[in-house]
Amino acid sequence: MNGVTGTATVQEYYEAWYSFNTRNETEVIRFEINGATFEFEKSLLNNRRSVMSVIGFLAEKKKESIERGEIIKIPGNKKEEKQWKIYFDYLKGESTYDIELTSRKAVERMVILMYFGVAIPDILVYLGVTRETLSEIMGKFLSVMDRRMIDCLKKIDGEKKLVEYIKRGALHISYYDLNVYNSNEDNIKDICQYYGINEQVEETVKRKKQENEEKLLELNKNETMSKIYGSLRVRKENIQPKIDIQKINKMRELLAKKNIKISKIQIDPIEDIKSLELCQRRISTVVVMEKYQIKKLRDRRKDFIEFVDTERNLVNNMKKLNELYRKPMIEAAKNGQLNEKDIKRIFTTLEKCIINSDKFEKALRPLVNSFKYDTCVGNEIFKNAILVTPYLPFTTDYNIADKVWKNIRELPIIQEIISKANKAQGDSPADFPTLLIQPVQRTMRYPLLLETIKKHTPPMHPDYEQIVNAEQIFKFFSMTINQRAKMRDGLMDLADLFNNDDLIKDGRYLVNQSEIEISREKYMAFLMNDQIAYVKEKTYSQAKTTKTKSKVKPSIISINKDMSIDHSSNCIYFREDIFRFENEQICSQWVDEIQGIIEDKFYDLLNDEAWYSQYLKK
């Protein structure tokens, strides 16, 4: 809600809320599609996304209706309603980075936004498509190409500025997804003809077909299907005949001695035995592939490769964030142009994230290169889970980093750094918010990737249990991040309320807060992972309601390994004071939380690995 974020007091919040919700109807444009109403801030008509797509044209056509505050009715069904919603989200700048977009969903959004006149390069940046995945996404985009898309492209790209994008996609799909290319060959050829790249694409198709034919000839000549390994290549000379020739000869002699003639019995000649062997092997292969779920194993390999490759992509993007933004900002701080404290709050543990993510990828890469049907990867992933620890403070402090960035991004020095970064990245540069949020997204994606690997691992596979263990520890890590992010935000709110930045320390979180009594006087107590802070309830109430705040310094009880917790009923006994809680349940909760902090060494602000101890304790 515009105007509400960052208000200092409750009263200011109410005033901002009232101002926003009672604003004049002419300040917004209202659209109705399929009975659903969408609101669009009129001020957004001047931004680049609106100017460079159909909304500007529509607003001009309906100018008088908009000035009167009328609802603009647009005909459409449920499907078109969803398409308009995606378009409005794009215009409003709604983030797509909190959504785990599959490539199919990404392409679907590309097509929809293109129909609304949005330029493909802008769509790719909006969806967070990187240079490494650009060819694949454009290839999938071409795989769904139809006549309407072709006509749309020809109209919006009369100058053929998108030729390099189309070329990369066409060359990718024609080589790596030839079957998909063949299924939509006419439409792909049409758009390639328009951009003048038909010859290059056809040459790639021809080369790929020739390679496939050579592989097939080599397979028929030297190799055959393996009973266990499916298509993993076994030499023919290693296959033992499955037909017992001696038994066939004995049967022939027995029938001859008894002078038995059965017209329906026919003994195949020796020269047909090889054909029979091949048939038998093929049947056996099908049975074994079904039994050992070979298709799942192939998908499993593909899933694991995606796990490792996306880890490498993350490392590369974090290095880009470090080189293009963090280091220039540090230099600017040395020259007095930026605040060093702001830089630390934005980038927190980025350097550690880069080092550990690089180690993680390198530990798993050898398994990609030697992957077989019985390769076990779960234990290696589980063993290296501790390496993701630096993502914990990076993610829990993301809201702080984002807030600081928004406060300084309009500074001339920051604009200069952004300009140089965009120039260094060339086509389709990733902006700062996109790069900053990627490590945060990664922490939430680990469990999803492992769940997919588990899905394609047969239950009888030796790696199944190990994959389950790896999935569980990363789920616990994600859960811990969510919990601590809320605790960290709570600490920031408390520091803001008390106007006391001394409360903010790296690794400190607000675990709990409760009303208590000390010597029959009411207090508010705040349990942090390294200390307990408490103030009189009167002081707390004044801090909540006073506009001009003075610094509040709470009384402190430190938490450490030597701390002993004595309690009875609804009281906790500290050396200095006795905390009396409202009831036994709240008291017991505090006791359990303090004991857990001590056991896991959570009180050590430099020990980010406390989450790992908590998991092992389970």
* Domain assignment of residue 57, yes or no: no
pTM over 0.75: no
Place of tokens 């931004």: 47
Outline where DSSP puts E strands in 312-407: none
Mean pLDDT of 450-455: 94
Residues 124 and 266 in one domain: yes
What is the full DSSP assignment across 199-224? HHHHHHHHHHHHHHHHHHHHHHHHEE
**Quick check: 339 pLDDT over 80?**
yes
CATH code of 571's domain: 2.30.29.30
| Tens digits of residue pLDDT in 252-291 | 677 666 655 544 444 444 445 556 666 767 776 666 556 5
* Burial call 559-592: b when 16+ CB within 10 Å, e when fewer: beeebeeebeebebeeeebebbbeeeeebeebee
pLDDT at 425: 86
* Domain assignment of residue 612, yes or no: no
| Residue 269 and residue 248 in contact, taking contact as beta carbons nearer than 8 Å | no
Residues 214 and 355 in one domain: no
pLDDT at 287: 62
Residues 548 and 462 in one domain: no
Q: Which residues contact 223 (CB under 8 A, 6 or more apart)?
A: 233, 234, 235, 236
Radius of gyration of the chain, Cα coordinates, nearest whole angstrom: 33
* Domain assignment of residue 178, yes or no: yes
Q: Residue 469: pLDDT band by 50, 70, 90 thresholds?
A: very high
Q: How far apart are CA 75 and CA 52, in angstroms?
A: 23
Residues 317 and 419 in one domain: yes
Domain around 516: 510-601
Mean pLDDT of 423-449: 91
Q: In percent, how much of the chain has pLDDT > 70?
A: 82
* Domain assignment of residue 168, yes or no: yes
Mean pLDDT of 488-514: 93
* Domain assignment of residue 346, yes or no: yes
| Residue 139 and residue 169 in contact, taking contact as beta carbons nearer than 8 Å | yes
Q: How far apart are CA 179 and CA 204, in angstroms?
A: 13
**Quick check: 20 pLDDT over 60?**
no
Residues 273 and 372 in one domain: no
Better pLDDT: 336 or 127:
336
Q: In percent, how much of the chain has pLDDT > 90?
A: 41
Q: How far apart are CA 533 and CA 322, in angstroms?
A: 37
pLDDT at 377: 95
Residues 273 and 307 in one domain: no
Better pLDDT: 479 or 26:
479
| Tens digits of residue pLDDT in 6-17 | 445 666 666 665
Residues 326 and 362 in one domain: yes
Residues 351 and 430 in one domain: yes
Q: How far apart are CA 151 and CA 165, in angstroms?
A: 17
**Quick check: 117 pLDDT over 80?**
yes
Nearest to 466 by CA among 383, 371, 366: 383
Q: How far apart are CA 486 and CA 310, in angstroms?
A: 28
Q: How many structural domains compose the chain?
A: 3
Residues 379 and 445 in one domain: yes
Nearest to 476 by CA among 590, 600, 353, 366: 600
Q: Which residues contact 423 (CB under 8 A, 6 or more apart)?
A: none
